[in-house]
């Protein structure tokens, strides 16, 4: 076994939310990054994978557990770690050259030496000639190249990449990814291990020796997958496709399991369950695509992603939402159109909304609870705060907020209840109100 560079044992991390409750983001995570490997962390947003990366970078401390870098406890960022950021994190007032020199300057390296090494790194990453440019003059892809050069110039043992390609368009991202893999295989960079946080399944499978899939609430490693294919890997080869399918199946396993069982024994869903953040018109679009040619009611998720040009973290919540509302079913990385989904697609606008509302009430406990509570009010209206409070007892504040937003949006569409943005009040749809009819100020 190659020597470990970073080792985490039993790491627990929680954040304090606004109301003072602690939320566990990572629970008992063990992880080992060894020399000579590329590891990908996959998981939905909020699953704690970025937190884990920051713990390894020494940016965040842990509540419990042990973090070691080269067998030494890690309290703050170590010199041997370079990091590439999602938003590039370049200093806009420094030129490309100055940005790349930043880490060297901080270490007190003499100007001449600094210049030499920075120029070498800039050339390595293919930016020669742009030394004097300011970041704002560069395109996104070139900016990220600067970010990578800045990380490589300090000759890090470990390169941490936090969604480094997700702010770039697909083509640029692929180019950059291939360039890095090439540098890695030709041993042109001093880096001994790379950790990539990503939400792009294909990217993870193409790059990594190991793919770790994270589960959320609280974050923990759900599954680990070794990829032993030689690089460069062809994304269209059957081996790679199979692996991608496998990861899709694993990542949607949670949702599939629940709906799979729902037919026989009703699963008691929690009110404070995290709802997939899915936009309704996208859900409808996906459903229509699924019902039409060439899928005909059954689609391979990676194919669907390609066909709809959605990224994985856009597609997966949609699929999960459809399966939650039982308009579709996820099984083995495939999305199947449910009979109800077929009716939905064929129906007109009114029928669709009706179906949506009906499914929402029977399968989303939060929506049902909101509706039930409203019906008991003489005015048919309630402020959103109590619901938010209920949610934030078991979810982090921002997630609670987002879950309620989603529930409100869905409820509005299904005409289950309405919401007044100005006052933050949820109320029964007009004409359904129990007592006094609600006054609509702005309509």
Between 111 and 232, CB nearer to another protein: 111
Contacts of 272 (CB under 8 A, 6+ apart): 366, 390, 391, 393, 394, 395, 400, 403
Complex with another protein: residue 87 or 362, whichever CB lies closer: 87
Residue 92 interacts with another protein (CB under 8 A): yes or no: yes
CB of 424 to another protein, least distance (A): 11
- Told to check if 18 binds another protein by CB under 8 A, we report no
The reply on whether position 78 binds another protein by CB under 8 A is yes
Site for another protein (CB under 8 A): which residue of 34, 59, 133, 229? 59
Handedness of CA 324, 330, 335, 338 (dihedral sign): negative
To the nearest whole angstrom, how small is the minimum distance from the Cβ of residue 150 to another protein? 7
Torsion sign across C-alpha atoms 162, 168, 171, 176: negative
**Stretches 40-48, 74-82, 272-280, 358-366: which one binds another protein (CB under 8 A)?**
74-82
- Does the protein bind another protein through residue 63 (CB under 8 A)? no
89 near another protein, judged by CB under 8 A: yes
Q: Residue from 13, 23, 49, 54 that binds another protein (CB under 8 A)?
A: 54
* Distance, CA of 311 to CA of 166 (rounded, Å): 9
Identify the bridge partners of residue 162 per DSSP, sorted by sequence position.
197
Q: Three-class SS of residue 45?
A: coil
Q: Does 389 help bind another protein (rule: CB under 8 A)?
A: no
Note whether 429 binds another protein by CB under 8 A.
no
| Cβ neighbours, 10 Å, residue 335 | 29
Q: What are phi and psi of 220, to 5 degrees?
A: -155, 165
CB of 94 to another protein, least distance (A): 8
What's the min distance (Å) between Cβ of 426 and another protein?
18
Strand order from edge to edge, sheet including 220-226 = 81-84, 158-162, 193-198, 37-42, 210-215, 220-226
Q: Contact with another protein (CB under 8 A): which of 38, 41, 49, 69?
A: 69
CA angle, corner 43, sides to 39 and 44, nearest 5?
A: 155
Pick from 313, 330, 329, 328: which is nearest to 278 by CA?
A: 313
Residues that bind another protein in the complex, under the rule CB under 8 A: 54, 57-59, 61, 69-70, 72-79, 81-83, 85-87, 89, 91-94, 102-103, 105-108, 111, 134, 136, 150, 154, 421-422
């Amino acid at each position: 076994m190659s020597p470990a560079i970073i080792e985490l044992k039993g790491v627990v991390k929680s954040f304090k939310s606004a109301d003072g409750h602690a939320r566990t983001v990572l629970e008992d995570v063990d992880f080992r990054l060894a020399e000579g490997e590329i590891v990908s962390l996959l998981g939905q947003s909020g699953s704690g994978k970025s937190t884990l990366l920051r713990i390894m970078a020494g940016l965040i401390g842990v509540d419990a557990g042990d973090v070691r870098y080269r067998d030494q406890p890690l309290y703050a960022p170590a010199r041997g770690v370079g990091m590439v950021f999602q938003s590039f994190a370049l200093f806009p007032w420094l030129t490309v050259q100055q940005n790349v020199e930043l880490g060297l300057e901080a270490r007190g390296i003499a100007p001449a030496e600094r210049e030499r090494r920075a120029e070498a790194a800039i050339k390595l990453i293919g930016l020669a000639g742009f030394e004097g440019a300011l970041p704002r003059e560069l395109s996104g892809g070139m900016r990220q190249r600067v970010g990578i050069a800045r990380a490589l110039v300090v000759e890090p043992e470990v390169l941490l990449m936090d969604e480094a390609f997700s702010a770039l368009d697909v083509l640029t991202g692929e180019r950059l990814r291939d360039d890095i893999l090439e540098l890695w295989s030709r041993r042109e960079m001093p880096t001994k291990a790379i950790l990539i946080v990503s939400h792009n399944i294909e990217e993870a499978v193409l790059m990594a020796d190991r793919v770790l899939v994270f589960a959320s609430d609280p974050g923990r490693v759900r599954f680990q997958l070794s990829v032993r294919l030689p690089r460069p890997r062809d994304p269209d080869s059957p081996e790679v496709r199979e692996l991608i399918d496998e990861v899709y199946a694993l990542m949607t396993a949670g949702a599939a399991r629940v709906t799979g069982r729902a037919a026989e024994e009703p699963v008691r869903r929690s009110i404070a369950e995290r709802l997939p953040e899915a936009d309704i018109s996208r859900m409808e679009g996906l459903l229509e695509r699924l019902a039409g040619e060439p899928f005909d009611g059954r689609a391979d998720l990676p194919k669907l992603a390609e066909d709809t040009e959605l990224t994985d973290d856009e597609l997966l919540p949609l699929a999960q939402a459809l399966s939650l509302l039982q308009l579709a079913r996820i099984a083995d990385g495939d999305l199947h159109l449910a009979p109800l989904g077929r009716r939905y697609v064929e129906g007109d606008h009114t029928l669709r909304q009706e179906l949506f509302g009906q499914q929402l009430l029977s399968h989303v406990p939060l929506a049902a609870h909101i509706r039930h509570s409203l019906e008991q009010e003489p005015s048919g209206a309630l402020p959103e705060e109590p619901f938010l409070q209920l949610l934030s007892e078991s979810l982090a504040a921002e997630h609670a907020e987002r879950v309620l937003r989603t529930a409100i949006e869905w409820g509005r569409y299904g005409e289950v209840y309405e919401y007044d943005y100005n006052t933050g009040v949820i109320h029964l749809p007009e004409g359904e109100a129990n007592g006094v009819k609600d006054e609509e100020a702005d309509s």
